[in-house]
A and B are shown apart, each in its own frame.
Chain A
Amino acid sequence: MTTIVDYMGGGFGAKFGLGVEGQAACEAALELKRPVHLMLTREDEFLTAGNRSGAVIQVRAGVAKDGTLTALQGEIQRLGGVGGGSFSGFPYIYKLRDEKGLHSSIRSVYTHFDAARAMRAPGHVQASFAIESALDELGYLAGVGALDIRKQNLTDQVYHRQLDRAAKEIGWEAHPNKLAPQERPDAAGTKTGIGFAISTWGGGGHEECRVRVAVGRDGSLTATVGTQDLGNGTRTYVAAIAAEEFGLPLEAATARIGNTSYGRANASGGSTTAASLAPAVKDAAFNAAKALREHLAKGLGRGAAELAFRGGSVVESSGGKALMTWKEACATLGSAGISADGEWRSELAGNGVHGAQAAKVQVDLSTGRVRVLKMVGVQDCGLPLNRTAVESQLNGGMIQALSYALHEERVLETGLGLMLNANFVDYKIAGCQEMPELVPLIDEEDIGRGVIGMAEPAIVPGHSAIANAIFNACGVRLRSLPFTPDKVLDGLALLAANGGAK
């Protein structure tokens, strides 16, 4: 069986395994001995193609006067339909200095809905919301504030650096209401707040990809591997790494991917593709360049080490004097050209990333509408292969988090056993009117490490930061997603009833 995926619009999850729909298509094709085109309806997508796991989490916690966590208890129920669901651990990232104060229990609650599948940062999004909400609340109660309570319970200095950077970019220093929600509304009847949250992810690679880089007599340069591009730029960096090795522009190289017959590659998941694939491409390109240098050295009567590829030419490695153009060099090859294979090299990949985000929101006290004004994402990713793509991943993560923070919800009718909104009118996704100013920042102090995937951490903290910003604005602590106007208005009404709102 060969799988062909030339282009995919965007792969964010609900993957791994064929699924019943894939099995049905395969069986139909075998039975009919003809190609079968499977296309799910929107409703099918919601009901049979996998969802993010839900979670119901109860947290009890206590802090010392300086904000140090002293006691933390979490009771986690994972909601994964007929599957077990996912949850990435408790507490998430933050640590107690004395672990004796920590207790948590996790169990799965099974329902008759479709099993949850891997969805961009499975388990992390839920875990983030629980701890970031609880810690934030304690930060205000203890009077240390939203930023310092986080740093107080993080020993890893990378988080301190990233939180400080996010705070600077969002305008925390000049923010008037750091230790309590805004007291009086602005003239327009709104209140403004800022919130923070952090993330973590692995993103490391492993030995699975085999890449072949080939140079043709016609000057063509091709990198071949049976991976696919999920829409995140794999095709671009496969070509770019090969081109760079030969001192050629990106457009001179072709990435042959999207076909399992092109050789083994890892399953794209867990943000492990870049760290698994890029080192193998580099290795293959390095080996092919070495072989080409050795071939050319013979003809030029020089040592291979005396030759280098630079600016579309073969040059002297010391001094850079041009000896022949790329085309002339390739014309000396036999009809088969030259090629070499490459495998994963652990020293070219890193593992483990952080991430800090901040959100600034405006809450309309009359309507309960939450408008996200600005989001800042600071992300380490080791060596960035393509800065534009990294920034796009960060933007995309913040946008997706904003969308499920403000709108997205599968409305499951418990009495009738129906999903009431399995369409894109009633299952609401943020549109252009919801988009804030987005500031994606690569943590430049981290680029000395090897390649690390960063697609998933980008989506983890956004909703938590928005929830915390809502509290910072108007004093309403929202404990369930999405943060819709009805919940904000109910929260404001409760505050007023308790004499807390102005």
Chain B
Amino acid sequence: MKAFELLRPASLEQALELLPKPADRERVRVVAGGQDLYTEMKDRLIEPDQLLDLKRLAGFDRLEIDGAGNVTLGALLTLSRVAEHAGLRASLPLVGEAALSIASTQIRNVGTVGGNLNQRPRCWYYRHPGAHCLKKGGSECFSKEGFNKYNAILGGGPSYIVHPSDLAPALVAAGAEVVLAKKGSSRTLPLEQYYTLPRDGDPLRETVLGSDEILTHVRIPAPAAGWKSTYLKFKERGSFDFALASVAAGLVVEAGVVRSARLVLGGVAPIPWRAKAAEEFLAGKPAQPATWREAAAIALSKAEPLSDNEYKVALSQNLIERAFTRLTT
């Protein structure tokens, strides 16, 4: 690992002052729990001169639920606290389930909400220091024609990474917003719009976060009456693994009929993949197995598997059926 300077600002204002201009954004990196960032530094995928540590910032690790049921998650809140919070588990089970599915207890005790939402891809080629791929400024996404068992079946091209976050699909399904602060101002946008497809934005990045911005917290609106939700993650290895595919699902069912549905897939696309066509299909349909099966087929109808990942289509469909079945039985 290259030597670096550790900056520990005492306030958000100080931190924002220290953020770099766009041209210098690789020189200064913001660190929260460091569970992903440090591994990138050890593998010399990134070699920042300065790390901007946010741990001293007051209130950055808060978890609040107001009287109306709106939730605020600070960027430095640990994944363990999200997973263990009884109030959150009661109102938004999918968020707690997603947090609990991440990595290991040790990593969840240190890893944070902000870090998880901003973690970098797990693609073998991206993580290998010897493969100068598109994601690292090279000219080619090696996974497209190479070893792509874990890569994208939806939204791929020119890069075929999948976004590795478990919290992201759950929070998108819950309709969460992120708050991004910069010097003198801040902006709020739906988490769904925080992530960008490689073909729509800079293929070196997965989000719209500016070099002069810090993600300060996440807001989740109070769920609608009767909203039930779940997060199903399928891992190749039960102990500590990333998702081969995951499903964040939410439903309001009245008198056996779906009133509204949310369906977001993880592990299958460069962004948390909102299956809007399936959501629209579900509204007004009877809450029964045939409906889930059809919704699952619609959600994956645009899938374009690569040479080694066709299995993800059936896997995702099966998980979608399983998630909706779990919510209605």
Contact among B237, B244, B322 with A433 in the assembled complex (CB-CB below 8 Å):
B237
Instruction: Please tell me if the beta carbons of B237 and A428 are within 8 angstroms of each other in the complex.
Output: yes
Asked if A489 is an interface residue, CB under 8 A from chain B, the answer is: yes
B149, B318, B319: which has the most chain A beta carbons within 10 Å?
B318
Asked if B311 is an interface residue, CB under 8 A from chain A, the answer is: yes
Instruction: Please tell me if the beta carbons of B234 and A418 are within 8 angstroms of each other in the complex.
Output: no
Question: 1/0 per residue A413-437: CB within 8 Å of B?
Answer: 1011010110001101011111000
- A426 vs B241: C-alpha distance in the bound complex, in angstroms? 9
Closest B residue by C-beta to A490: B311
Asked if A23 is an interface residue, CB under 8 A from chain B, the answer is: no
Q: Which of A212-220, A299-307, A366-374 contacts B (4 or more CB under 8 A)?
A: A366-374
Instruction: Please tell me if the beta carbons of B142 and A416 are within 8 angstroms of each other in the complex.
Output: yes
Q: Which B residues, 295 to 322, have Cβ-Cβ distances below 8 Å to chain A?
A: 308-312, 314-315, 318-319, 321-322
Chain B residues lying within 8 Å of A406, measured Cβ to Cβ, are: 237
- A431 vs B104: C-alpha distance in the bound complex, in angstroms? 11
Distance of A131 from chain B, by nearest CB (Å): 28
- A215 vs B22: C-alpha distance in the bound complex, in angstroms? 76
Instruction: Please tell me if the beta carbons of A432 and B239 are within 8 angstroms of each other in the complex.
Output: yes
Distance of B311 from chain A, by nearest CB (Å): 4
Instruction: Please tell me if the beta carbons of B128 and A434 are within 8 angstroms of each other in the complex.
Output: no
Contact among A411, A413, A489 with B311 in the assembled complex (CB-CB below 8 Å):
A489
Asked if B124 is an interface residue, CB under 8 A from chain A, the answer is: yes
- A493 vs B305: C-alpha distance in the bound complex, in angstroms? 15
Instruction: Please tell me if the beta carbons of A428 and B241 are within 8 angstroms of each other in the complex.
Output: yes
Q: Which A residues, 384 to 430, have Cβ-Cβ distances below 8 Å to chain B?
A: 406-407, 411, 413, 415-416, 418, 420-421, 425-426, 428, 430
Asked if B146 is an interface residue, CB under 8 A from chain A, the answer is: yes
Contact among B39, B130, B237, B322 with A416 in the assembled complex (CB-CB below 8 Å):
B130
Instruction: Please tell me if the beta carbons of A420 and B239 are within 8 angstroms of each other in the complex.
Output: no
Asked if B292 is an interface residue, CB under 8 A from chain A, the answer is: no
Instruction: Please tell me if the beta carbons of A486 and B237 are within 8 angstroms of each other in the complex.
Output: no
Distance of A365 from chain B, by nearest CB (Å): 8
A367, A416, A489: which has the most chain B beta carbons within 10 Å?
A367
Distance of B244 from chain A, by nearest CB (Å): 6
Chain A residues lying within 8 Å of B130, measured Cβ to Cβ, are: 416, 418
Contact among B131, B239, B241, B312 with A418 in the assembled complex (CB-CB below 8 Å):
B131
- A454 vs B81: C-alpha distance in the bound complex, in angstroms? 47
Chain A residues lying within 8 Å of B318, measured Cβ to Cβ, are: 366-367
Asked if A485 is an interface residue, CB under 8 A from chain B, the answer is: yes
Instruction: Please tell me if the beta carbons of A485 and B311 are within 8 angstroms of each other in the complex.
Output: yes
Question: 1/0 per residue B135-150: CB within 8 Å of A?
Answer: 0000000100011010
Instruction: Please tell me if the beta carbons of A486 and B234 are within 8 angstroms of each other in the complex.
Output: no
Asked if A259 is an interface residue, CB under 8 A from chain B, the answer is: no
Closest B residue by C-beta to A366: B318
Chain B residues lying within 8 Å of A416, measured Cβ to Cβ, are: 130-131, 142, 146
Contact among B241, B309, B322 with A486 in the assembled complex (CB-CB below 8 Å):
B309
- A431 vs B236: C-alpha distance in the bound complex, in angstroms? 12
- With A366-B322, A413-B147, A415-B146 as known contacts, state yes or no: A489 contacts B314, CB within 8 Å: yes
Instruction: Please tell me if the beta carbons of B128 and A418 are within 8 angstroms of each other in the complex.
Output: yes
- A484 vs B142: C-alpha distance in the bound complex, in angstroms? 22
Instruction: Please tell me if the beta carbons of B239 and A430 are within 8 angstroms of each other in the complex.
Output: yes
Contact among B146, B237, B315, B319 with A413 in the assembled complex (CB-CB below 8 Å):
B146
Instruction: Please tell me if the beta carbons of B236 and A407 are within 8 angstroms of each other in the complex.
Output: yes
Instruction: Please tell me if the beta carbons of B238 and A433 are within 8 angstroms of each other in the complex.
Output: yes
Chain B residues lying within 8 Å of A411, measured Cβ to Cβ, are: 124, 147
Chain A residues lying within 8 Å of B239, measured Cβ to Cβ, are: 430-434
Instruction: Please tell me if the beta carbons of B146 and A485 are within 8 angstroms of each other in the complex.
Output: no
B146, B241, B244, B311: which has the most chain A beta carbons within 10 Å?
B311
- With A407-B237, A420-B147, A428-B237 as known contacts, state yes or no: A485 contacts B315, CB within 8 Å: yes
Closest B residue by C-beta to A417: B130
Instruction: Please tell me if the beta carbons of A367 and B315 are within 8 angstroms of each other in the complex.
Output: yes
Distance of B63 from chain A, by nearest CB (Å): 27
- A368 vs B310: C-alpha distance in the bound complex, in angstroms? 13
Contact among B127, B146, B319 with A426 in the assembled complex (CB-CB below 8 Å):
B127
Distance of B42 from chain A, by nearest CB (Å): 9
Closest A residue by C-beta to B321: A366
Asked if B125 is an interface residue, CB under 8 A from chain A, the answer is: yes
Asked if B38 is an interface residue, CB under 8 A from chain A, the answer is: no
Distance of A72 from chain B, by nearest CB (Å): 33
Distance of A479 from chain B, by nearest CB (Å): 16
Chain B residues lying within 8 Å of A415, measured Cβ to Cβ, are: 142, 146
Closest A residue by C-beta to B240: A431
Distance of A381 from chain B, by nearest CB (Å): 31
Distance of B182 from chain A, by nearest CB (Å): 33
Q: Which B residues, 221 to 248, have Cβ-Cβ distances below 8 Å to chain A?
A: 234, 236-241, 244
Instruction: Please tell me if the beta carbons of A489 and B241 are within 8 angstroms of each other in the complex.
Output: no
- A418 vs B308: C-alpha distance in the bound complex, in angstroms? 18
- With A411-B124, A411-B147, A418-B131 as known contacts, state yes or no: A489 contacts B315, CB within 8 Å: yes
Closest B residue by C-beta to A434: B238
- With A416-B131, A485-B311 as known contacts, state yes or no: A366 contacts B237, CB within 8 Å: no
Distance of B202 from chain A, by nearest CB (Å): 24
- A335 vs B319: C-alpha distance in the bound complex, in angstroms? 77
Name 28 A/B residue pairs within 8 A (Cβ), A-sorted: A366-B318, A366-B319, A366-B321, A366-B322, A368-B315, A369-B236, A407-B236, A411-B124, A411-B147, A413-B124, A415-B142, A420-B128, A425-B39, A426-B122, A426-B124, A426-B127, A428-B236, A428-B237, A433-B237, A434-B238, A484-B236, A485-B236, A485-B311, A486-B308, A486-B309, A486-B312, A489-B311, A490-B311
Interface residues of B (CB under 8 A from A): 39, 122, 124-125, 127-128, 130-131, 142, 146-147, 149, 234, 236-241, 244, 308-312, 314-315, 318-319, 321-322
User: Which A-B residue pairs are the 9 nearest by beta carbons?
Assistant: A431-B239, A433-B238, A366-B318, A420-B124, A433-B239, A489-B311, A486-B311, A418-B130, A428-B237
Known A369-B234, A413-B146, A486-B149; further 16 A-B contacts with Cβ < 8 A: A367-B234, A413-B124, A416-B131, A416-B146, A418-B130, A420-B124, A420-B125, A426-B124, A428-B241, A431-B238, A431-B239, A432-B239, A486-B308, A486-B309, A489-B311, A489-B314
